[in-house]
Amino acid sequence: MSDSSDRSGDEAAAPVFAPDPVSLAHLELILNGAYPLAGFMTREEASSVAKRGRLPDGTPWPVPVTLPVPDQLADAERLTLTDPEGAPLAELRVGQRWWAGAQDGDGAAAPGHRLAGEVRFAQPPVYGALRHLRLSPGEIRGQRELAGDGGVPVLAVVTARPLHHRELHQIRAAAEELAGDDRAEVLVIIDAPLETEGLAPVVLAAEPLLPAPARFVVATLPRWSSDGAAGPALGRRVLLHAHVAAAYGATRLLVLDSAPSAGAEEETPIPVAAAPGWAYDTAQEQWRPVGEVAPEAAADLPDEAEVEETLARGLALPAWFTPARVAAELARIRPPRTERGLTVFFTGFSGSGKSTIARGVAEGIRRSGRTLTLLDGDVVRRMLSAGLTFSRADRNLNVRRIGYVAAEISRHGGVAVCAPIAPYAATRAEVRAMVEEVGDFFLVHVATPLEVCEARDRKGLYAKARAGEIPEFTGISDPYEEPEDAELVLDTEGRSVGESVAEVLSALRSGGWLPAESV
């Protein structure tokens, strides 16, 4: 009894920490057995993997698996790791503390403290979308054994994209080749975000069109790059997919979107094969192996941008390109822009005119018949962010709160018009990412020059900032990072508010977010 009580006291004393999305994805894959790792990597391990694609003992492994923590947890002996809602997932026994600089290339968002050590399972995860499909490798293997498929070869496909006709033909051909005179199972591992369904429903729509038996599992596979890009180098990504597929019992990995790197099979736990070439023969009006189609008869496939634009305009995808089931699910997930959730996000100096323009734009959107919410910076400050200061940390938190509310509005098909100063590029990028998981994001930079804004100074803020009465004031004692990704840049100098409002509404109409007749 005393031992149990002591243990409970120790566990209660352990700091609680919710890892960032990348580390949380790593943690789930460690705990469910998809990774052959006991926990988060030391500096030596992460550095060896980043530079050589191998652990220090020579074992091939494609990506660093590290745990960034804030300064206040850098000296922790143990941590209770939780999901974003605070439910315990595991306990980390800290074996090493280290500082990751930019040269370490561990793939985290920024340099900082890292904790390494073994993780011990606490309780099954319940947080996240499609939890019923987030089965562990052990569960999938058990299903196969119960179905009598234990000895059947398994072709794995890892995808975050829809399975159109070409991909379905490629999978069927590869499965037939793997089966030989017998049969093979297809295992589709859907790489989906943790918090949303992503395109998983579209991938699942293709299930009846795959050779039976076909199984589906959802996993969140972390992105990593030594140069800070959005995802791992192609070879590293394929290798990670091969390791995860092998854990799920696959005997071969089919790569749909690229050819495996030369010599890659020497590093993978299972063979990796490039998808066989298939093309739509416009002369025969059917899909055929690419070697059997004359080059001039091979149809050009629409790329992702063309598919997106077709859906955004409310048009049907070609029947030869994608099955009706897949097209219908895509249309549901990505409705026409006039029905799609949208966040119009204004950014600019104080006094730039963004709030006035935003109000005019909001009124124009409302008259078009769309459901609208206006989130003005000053109003949000009094309500949603009451109590926050104007420190950099609190200003970032204020913008994140606006982004969270805007994303929820967009999730349900509404339009959110936001007008904070939002001076920092990284925070604006966070908001864009939040919104684009569930809708569309349209960034408007109200690029009124600082001297014009200061000359207006309707609230007297610039004068107070010049006098030192307001610290960390954007444009005076704190920087404004001009957007490089704005969908529209407005120069309001010498222009009326009505002209600026009309320009924004015109851009939204031409982009398809407002009906053409809206004014």
Q: What is the pLDDT of residue 77?
A: 95
What's CA 39's distance to the chain center, in Å? 23
Check whether 414 is labelled as a binding-site residue: no
What's the CATH architecture for 337-510? Answer: 3-Layer(aba) Sandwich (3.40)
User: Residue with structure tokens 């010049």?
Assistant: 466
Q: What is the pLDDT of residue 12?
A: 52
Check whether 387 is labelled as a binding-site residue: no
The closest alpha carbon to 343, from 179, 519, 487, belongs to 487
What's CA 456's distance to the chain center, in Å? 40
Specify the pTM: 0.81
Residue 474 DSSP class:
B
Check whether 9 is labelled as a binding-site residue: no
Check whether 352 is labelled as a binding-site residue: yes
Q: Pick left, alpha or beta for residue 349 (phi over 0 → left; psi -120 to 50 → alpha; otherwise beta).
A: beta
The closest alpha carbon to 373, from 433, 440, 419, belongs to 419
Give the tokens for residue 474. 């954007």
Superfamily of domain 15-121 in CATH is Sulfate adenylyltransferase (3.10.400.10)
Print the SS3 string covering 379-395.
Answer: HHHHCCCCCCCCCHHHH
Check whether 23 is labelled as a binding-site residue: no
Query: Three-state SS for 57?
Result: coil
> Residue type for 484, please?
E
Q: Where are the domains of the chain?
A: 15-121, 131-279, 337-510
Check whether 8 is labelled as a binding-site residue: no
How far apart CA 10 and CA 208 sit, in angstroms, is 51
Residues of the chain whose pLDDT is less than 50? 1-11, 227-231, 262-263, 518-519
Cβ 166 vs Cβ 233: under 8 Å: no
Cβ 244 vs Cβ 158: under 8 Å: yes
Check whether 391 is labelled as a binding-site residue: no
- C-alpha distances (whole Å) from 445 to each of 58, 172, 366, 400, 402 are 50, 49, 21, 18, 17
Q: What is the pLDDT of residue 355?
A: 92
Polymer length of the chain:
519
Sorted by sequence, the CB contacts under 8 Å of residue 186 that are 6+ apart come out as 154, 155, 157, 171, 175, 210, 211, 213, 214, 215
Give strand ranges (E) for 112-182.
Answer: 112-121, 154-159
- Same CATH fold assignment for domains 131-279 and 337-510: yes
What's the CATH architecture for 131-279? Answer: 3-Layer(aba) Sandwich (3.40)
How far apart CA 209 and CA 322 sit, in angstroms, is 11
Q: What is the pLDDT of residue 213?
A: 87
Check whether 369 is labelled as a binding-site residue: no
> Residue type for 366, please?
R
Instruction: Please compute Rg for the chain using Cα positions.
Output: 26
Parallel, antiparallel or unpaired: strands 372-376 and 342-347: unpaired
How far apart CA 103 and CA 101 sit, in angstroms, is 5
How far apart CA 25 and CA 469 sit, in angstroms, is 45
- C-alpha distances (whole Å) from 448 to each of 6, 320, 440, 444 are 63, 49, 25, 12
How far apart CA 112 and CA 95 sit, in angstroms, is 17
Parallel, antiparallel or unpaired: strands 286-289 and 278-281: antiparallel
